[in-house]
């Protein structure tokens, strides 16, 4: 098999890449990385010294591709399928990239900041950082609520790379700062995402690991 994905099923950025792979039924070898295991971690760092997943390895073309958006762009360019994760027209592609960046930077990253703080030891927590991250999430929710009043998917009427980014980011964001009644359009959009078979599959595969997700008190849930 030409493609190998280094990932962890619980990771939001990894689920983003998995959704893209599942959308087009792209065959790939699965390599689960356990960063807590020295051997697994060392093997992964040999592939990508930055140590962030997902990373795609394409043996046929001898390429190593980190960064979830670049992975999806790469799949689109070299392993396309029936779901066009980026449209052909330049303006449409820019919209997809914009909303992909938006969900990564303004939803996923602040959500991760809140979660990371829960994992910090007592005395090393950063309440000011958490407050700022939650304020960023609040601003993002308002933008999503406005945008999703008139759209089916994140960048328009077609499912795209932006939805691959949005689904796992919103799932975990809702856990750290629930959408609430003021975000009905966003909640409806997320309900559509949950029903999308590609994301439903990635989420189901993460379920056995959900107990590792830290709850509000900092302990792992479940
Ligand atoms: N910009 C990167 C972000 C990747 C990222 O933050 N991955 C997290 C998991 S969701 C990770 O590798 N965390 C492990 C660590 O930071 O040690 C992408 O889009 O792939």
Q: Are 165 and 72 in contact (CB under 8 A)?
A: no
Cβ(11) – ligand 1 distance below 6 Å: yes
Cβ(53) – ligand 1 distance below 6 Å: yes
Residues 6+ apart with CB under 8 A from 58: 2, 3, 64, 65, 74, 78
Tell me how far the alpha carbon of residue 26 lies from the centroid of ligand 1, in angstroms: 22
Give the pLDDT of residue 93. Answer: 98
Tell me how far the alpha carbon of residue 45 lies from the centroid of ligand 1, in angstroms: 13
pLDDT band for position 222 (cuts 50, 70, 90): very low
Q: What is the DSSP string of the chain?
A: --EEEEE-TT-HHHHHHHHHHHHTT---EEEE--TTSHHHHHHHHHH-TT--S-EEEETTTTEEEESHHHHHHHHHHHS--SS-SS-SSHHHHHHHHHHHHHIIIIIIHHHHHHHHHHTSPTTS--HHHHHHHHHHHHHHHHHHHHHTTS-SBTTBSS--HHHHHHHHHHHHHHHHS---TT-HHHHHHHHHHHHSHHHHHHHHHHGGGGGGSB-TTSSBP-
Q: Is the pLDDT of residue 17 over 60?
A: yes
Per-residue model confidence as pLDDT tens digits over 121-161 = 999 999 999 999 999 999 999 999 999 999 999 999 999 99
Tell me how far the alpha carbon of residue 170 lies from the centroid of ligand 1, in angstroms: 16
Q: Is the pLDDT of residue 195 over 90?
A: yes
Tell me how far the alpha carbon of residue 37 lies from the centroid of ligand 1, in angstroms: 17
Compute the average pLDDT of residues 217-222.
56
Cβ(68) – ligand 1 distance below 6 Å: yes
**From 38, 53, 70, mutation site for ligand 1 pocket: most ligand atoms within 8 A of C-beta:** 53
Tell me how far the alpha carbon of residue 115 lies from the centroid of ligand 1, in angstroms: 13
pLDDT band for position 220 (cuts 50, 70, 90): low
Give the pLDDT of residue 202. Answer: 98
**From 5, 6, 13, mutation site for ligand 1 pocket: most ligand atoms within 8 A of C-beta:** 13
The 10 Å Cβ neighbour count of residue 209 is 15
């Amino acid at each position: 098999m030409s493609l190998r994905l280094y990932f962890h099923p619980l990771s939001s950025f990894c689920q983003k890449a998995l959704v893209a792979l599942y959308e087009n039924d792209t065959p790939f070898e699965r390599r689960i990385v356990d960063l807590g295991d020295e051997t697994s971690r060392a093997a992964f760092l040999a592939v990508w010294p930055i140590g962030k997943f997902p990373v795609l390895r394409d043996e046929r073309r001898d390429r190593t591709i980190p960064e979830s958006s670049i992975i999806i762009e790469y799949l689109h360019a070299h392993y396309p399928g029936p779901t066009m994760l980026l449209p052909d027209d330049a303006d449409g592609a820019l919209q997809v990239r914009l909303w992909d960046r938006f969900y990564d930077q303004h939803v996923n990253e602040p959500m991760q900041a809140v979660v990371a703080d829960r994992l910090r030891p007592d005395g090393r927590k950063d309440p000011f950082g958490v407050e700022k991250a939650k304020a960023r999430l609040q601003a993002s929710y308002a933008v999503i609520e406005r945008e999703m009043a008139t759209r089916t998917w994140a960048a328009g009427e077609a499912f795209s790379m932006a939805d691959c980014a949005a689904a796992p980011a919103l799932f975990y964001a809702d856990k750290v700062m629930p959408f609430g009644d003021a975000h009905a359009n966003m909640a409806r959009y997320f309900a559509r995402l949950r029903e999308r078979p590609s994301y439903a599959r990635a989420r189901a595969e993460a379920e056995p690991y959900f107990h590792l997700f830290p709850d509000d008190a900092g302990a792992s849930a479940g």
